[in-house]
Structure 1
Amino acid sequence: MNIKKIDALLKKGVNIPNPATVFIGDDVDIERISPEGVTLFSGTKLTGAQTLIMPGSVLGYETPVTAENCLMGPGTKLHGGYFQDTVFMGDNVFGSGGHVRKGCILEEQANAAHTVGLKQTILFPFVTLGSLINFCDCLMAGGTGRKDHSEVGSSFIHFNYTPNQDKATPSMMGNVYQGVMLNQRPVFLGGQGGLVGPVRIAFGCISAAGSIIRNSELRCDRLIMGGTMRSGSVQWRPGIYTRPDRILTENIYYISGLYALKVWYRFIRPLFTWDWMSQALVSGLQKNIDLCIQERIKRLDAFGDKLKQSKQILLQREKGQGSQAVAVHEIVLEKLSRASSIFDQAENELKTPGPDGEQFIRHIDTNISHNKKDYVGFIQGLDESISIMGSTWLKGIEDRIVGLFGLDV
């Protein structure tokens, strides 16, 4: 416990009802903790030089909170649990028992009830998670407000680890290029269900409670029903991929979406900063989207290594080349061999927004005036033609990456 730092926070005006039970790490910069309406309840533990706590934030109201290098926007309320390298953009509420690991982003008003586990997860504004949920390696968008939001029902799980021991399994609900405009139909994933990643689910889709979703649904406004597997026992040969082309496709669409979101965070989000704390919050947002991209590329590389082994197993079984399965493996491996150069090209191209992006950025910058604190309200107030302009810009970014892999755009 750093008693001097606790005393300094008390003198600043931070509310610490029981100072003897609060731990502040030596690496925490107390200048990055606002005194305005901030409360640190008993059992709160703060560590990490990147820790940022903005006005109105409350930690540990229900049970102790450990926050390591987390950035908490205005009005963040973490009721209990462990939170690591996560950005909360503001007005977020997370119930007790939370276990949130690095690489997560919760945009404005994204919430979770008790006992929720996240890692490398991005939730757009308003998205709500129920209780007893494992939702790692996901991006979820959709909804227009607190009464019209995308939701994940209680006891839901995203299955993100395969029998072949890889995690090339990210799933996306909605999409980035339309989702950032905050004007799309919500997605609802029914409780006691699951997703077998990687899949994509379109805006407006609903999964019935208890459904296990194993395939993408790219049509909007669908009711998805999926039961458990029929009882049985068949031979299984470990190490063989049966649909590697589908895995590649879903991963590339996910990564291209993250690149579009990176551009949004680089050129649009900084326009909605009003002081050094809000600038630091957006800086954390930019760092975390890079973490998410790096993680997905790392997992895709590992999938490629395992796919080479899968091809060798098939060749031994088929006693030579020629099978359809081997041919699919070779096509996917050829595309993966170009992945590094494609992603490097994307990084270079996205350093500037391009003509389409510049036009959209100028419109935002010209009209933002005194609305810098109201990101959600401003974006939702854009004329439809302007929203379409921004979506077209971001969609073009995604399409270029997808096209370079030779996938259908």
Structure 2
Amino acid sequence: MENAIIKTLIKKGVKIPNPESVYISDDVNPDRISGENVTIHTGCKIIGERSLVMRNSQLGHEAPVTLENTLVGENTKLKGGFFTNAVFAGDNSFGSGAHVRNGTILEEQSNAAHTVGLKQTILFPFVTLGSLINFCDCLMAGGTSRKDHSEVGSSFIHFNYTPNQDKATPSMMGNVHQGVMLNSKPIFLGGQGGLVGPVRIGYGCITAAGSIIRKNELKQGRLVLGGAFKEVSVPRQYDVYTNISHIFNNNIHYIAGLISLKSWYKHIRPLFVYDDFSRALINGMQKNLDMCIKERIHRFKIFCEKLNLSKEILLSKTNDKSSKAILIHDKAMDKFKLASQIFNAEVGNKKINKNGEAFIFAVEKKIEQTGKKYIKTIQSLSPDESKKGIQWLFDVEQNMVEQLLI
């Protein structure tokens, strides 16, 4: 028997070709599912009070879709798989076999093919993922359109879990302060390859197919090849960290970037709200970003706590408290205490600098000309206007970064 919510949806115009096969939980609000050209195919499930489906969207064309507290923007096609606590900003496509989890945000026109796993992943507009990809704990930007976009090749892996059992491993392709302007060179990560997080990659870079990248490449427009290891077998050091600066500093940059993106989501994104659905979508993006920031600080904390044991093990072998290896442990642990204070303060910071105020005003004026079309508006800003926005977000980041790098 059709439940009451399904009957309500059909009455308001939602296309459900086989309603007997569709499950919608009692906590789903039918007012958050548009009746305008929305199709829910056979075998789909919608669960959770946060769930939102906007007009011209399709669920389950290739295989059943489970949608749990996930927000689906306009013109989006989720073709098959499991989606929980994710947000799709609109004009997205995701192939079957999806496994998309907490904290994921796909901004406008970002896409994925079949069998892709994401969690705590943020894709800026136009970013495209191939097939058979695991891309958790990443932020990727770059590109100017669907024809000029950043891309991750098929069978790519972001390695986000370490032998020391921590996940202080977020990787950033591009950056936030330039990426939001939608005018940067695209990044290409070659298929059958991977990144060993945490790493940062500059705009315009290409990683060759089959490469495993372990180091930052911050220069733009580079071809990066990851070399193969020789066959060796050496004693393993349990619970000891040897690349602390690399891990610590990349986490600082990543969290600072997310906090600057929070300023964008708070002051710029709401300017494009045009009805109750779009308002709910923006609220969902804000909540998911908060989830990402909280997760990254939590994982960073675990890493820094593990440095106590790492230091003890090293001291048991050398007993030299003034060695560089010991001093970098102490410096990282001390800096984390400061980082916690600064991050908490910046997350709640409501101040906007002069560049931010000027940029917000410029966007408001541009909306009067272009309407509330996010991509069109941002890309129609003049170079001087974009520069103010870039400087605003860069200053937000640098206020944290300059105090915390080791």
| SS of alignment partner, residue 338 of structure 1 | helix
Q: For residues 121 and 136 of structure 1, what CA distance do their matches in structure 2 show? A: 6
| SS of alignment partner, residue 15 of structure 1 | coil
AA aligned opposite 1:368: I
AA aligned opposite 1:35: G
The answer for unaligned runs of 5 or more in structure 2 is none
| SS of alignment partner, residue 82 of structure 1 | strand
Q: For residues 33 and 102 of structure 1, what CA distance do their matches in structure 2 show? A: 21
AA aligned opposite 1:340: S
AA aligned opposite 2:334: E
2:105 maps to 105
2:388 maps to 389
CA offsets 1:191-238 (integer angstroms, 9 cap, x no match): 000000000000000000000000000000000001332111011111
So what's the TM-score if we normalise by structure 2?
0.98
CA contact (8 A) 1:211 1:226 kept: yes
CA contact (8 A) 2:76 2:90 kept: yes
Structure 1 window deviating more from structure 2 (134-143 vs 302-311): it is 302-311
| SS of alignment partner, residue 11 of structure 1 | helix
Pair 1:48-2:48 in alignment: yes
2:229 maps to 229
2:367 maps to 368
1:180 maps to 180
Structure 1 window deviating more from structure 2 (286-295 vs 313-322): it is 313-322
1:352 maps to 351
AA aligned opposite 1:240: V
Please report the RMSD computed on the Cα atoms of aligned residues, expressed in angstroms: 1.1
Pair 1:399-2:398 in alignment: yes
CA contact (8 A) 2:101 2:118 kept: yes
Q: For residues 116 and 312 of structure 2, what CA distance do their matches in structure 1 show? A: 40
Shift of 1:320: 4.1
1:284 maps to 284
Shift of 1:355: 2.2
2:28 maps to 28
Q: For residues 372 and 102 of structure 1, what CA distance do their matches in structure 2 show? A: 32
2:328 maps to 328
Structure 1 window deviating more from structure 2 (1-10 vs 383-392): it is 1-10
Q: For residues 371 and 289 of structure 1, what CA distance do their matches in structure 2 show? A: 27
CA contact (8 A) 2:127 2:140 kept: yes
Q: For residues 169 and 129 of structure 2, what CA distance do their matches in structure 1 show? A: 20
Q: For residues 374 and 58 of structure 2, what CA distance do their matches in structure 1 show? A: 22
Pair 1:257-2:271 in alignment: no
CA offsets 1:147-205 (integer angstroms, 9 cap, x no match): 10000000000000000000000000000000000000000000000000000000000
AA aligned opposite 1:183: N
AA aligned opposite 2:176: V
Q: For residues 22 and 108 of structure 1, what CA distance do their matches in structure 2 show? A: 28
2:198 maps to 198
Identity percentage of aligned residues: 57
The answer for unaligned runs of 5 or more in structure 1 is none
1:245 maps to 245
So what's the TM-score if we normalise by structure 1?
0.98
- Pairing 1:260-339 to 2, within 5 Å after superposition: 260-339=260-339
Query: Cα gap change, 1:398/1:62 in structure 2, threshold over 3 Å: closer, same or farther?
Result: same
1:217 maps to 217
Instruction: Write out the 4+ residue segments of structure 1 that deviate beyond 3 Å after TM superposition.
Output: 370-373
CA contact (8 A) 1:98 1:115 kept: yes
Query: Cα gap change, 1:46/1:15 in structure 2, threshold over 3 Å: closer, same or farther?
Result: same
AA aligned opposite 1:88: F
| SS of alignment partner, residue 136 of structure 1 | coil
Q: For residues 319 and 378 of structure 1, what CA distance do their matches in structure 2 show? A: 60
